[in-house]
Amino acid sequence: MVGVNHIQGHIAANYITYPELEPPFLCIMMSGGNTQIIHVKKYTEFEVVGKTRDDAIRRSI
């Protein structure tokens, strides 16, 4: 079994879609009814700076 950091995987997926994206930046992650605001300091270094407990913010389409 290979260990994978779930948050880091979601952040790294953005580098495929947006190859010009480089740290540092803020990332808002919505998953499983929760929201996290993450400060991506380097490609493999990040810090959760805010989060919800039970309600994710939703994107309007």
Instruction: Please report whether residue 33 resides in a domain.
Output: yes
- Please report the pLDDT score of residue 36 as a whole number: 87
Instruction: Please report whether residue 56 resides in a domain.
Output: no
pLDDT higher than 90, residue 2: no
Q: How many domains does the chain have?
A: 1
- Please report the pLDDT score of residue 27 as a whole number: 92
- Please report the pLDDT score of residue 30 as a whole number: 80
- Please report the pLDDT score of residue 57 as a whole number: 64
pLDDT, tens digit, for every residue of 3-61? Answer: 778 888 889 999 999 999 999 999 998 877 778 899 999 998 999 999 887 665 665 55
Instruction: Please report whether residue 59 resides in a domain.
Output: no
Q: Which residue range forms the structural domain that includes residue 24? A: 6-51
Instruction: Please report whether residue 46 resides in a domain.
Output: yes
51, 37 Cβ separation under 8 angstroms = yes
Residues 6+ apart with CB under 8 A from 32: 56
